[in-house]
Amino acid sequence: MDATAGKLKKIHLLALGDSMVGKTSILKTFQGEYNSFQHYSPTIGVDLATKVVKLNAKLAINVNMWDTAGLERFQSITRAIYQKCEGVLLVFNVCDRKSYSHTVHWMDLAKKNCIQDLSMCLVGNKTDLQQEREVSKKDAETLASELEIPYFETSAKTGSNVKEMFGSLIRSVVFGRDTERITCIGPSLVLQDGGEIAKSRCCSHS
- pLDDT per residue as tens, the chain (206 positions): 544 444 446 899 999 999 889 998 898 888 876 555 445 455 455 777 788 888 777 788 889 888 876 555 556 656 667 888 899 999 999 999 999 999 999 999 888 888 778 999 999 999 999 999 999 999 999 999 999 999 999 999 999 999 999 999 998 998 885 443 333 333 333 444 443 333 333 333 33
Rg over alpha carbons for the chain, rounded to the nearest Å, is 16
HSE-up of 87 (CA within 13 Å, CB side)? 26
97: alpha, beta or left? (left if phi > 0; alpha if psi -120 to 50): alpha
- Amino acid making up residue 152: F
pLDDT at residue 131 in the model: 96
pLDDT at residue 37 in the model: 41
pLDDT at residue 4 in the model: 44
pLDDT at residue 149 in the model: 95
Which domains does the chain possess? 3-202 (3.40.50.300)
pLDDT at residue 202 in the model: 38
pLDDT at residue 74 in the model: 55
Count CB atoms within 10 A of the CB of residue 150: 18
Q: How far apart are CA 24 and CA 67, in angstroms?
A: 6
- Amino acid making up residue 178: D
pLDDT at residue 197 in the model: 32
pLDDT at residue 3 in the model: 47
Burial class (CB in 10 A: 0-12, 13-18, 19+), 70: buried
Q: How far apart are CA 86 and CA 77, in angstroms?
A: 18
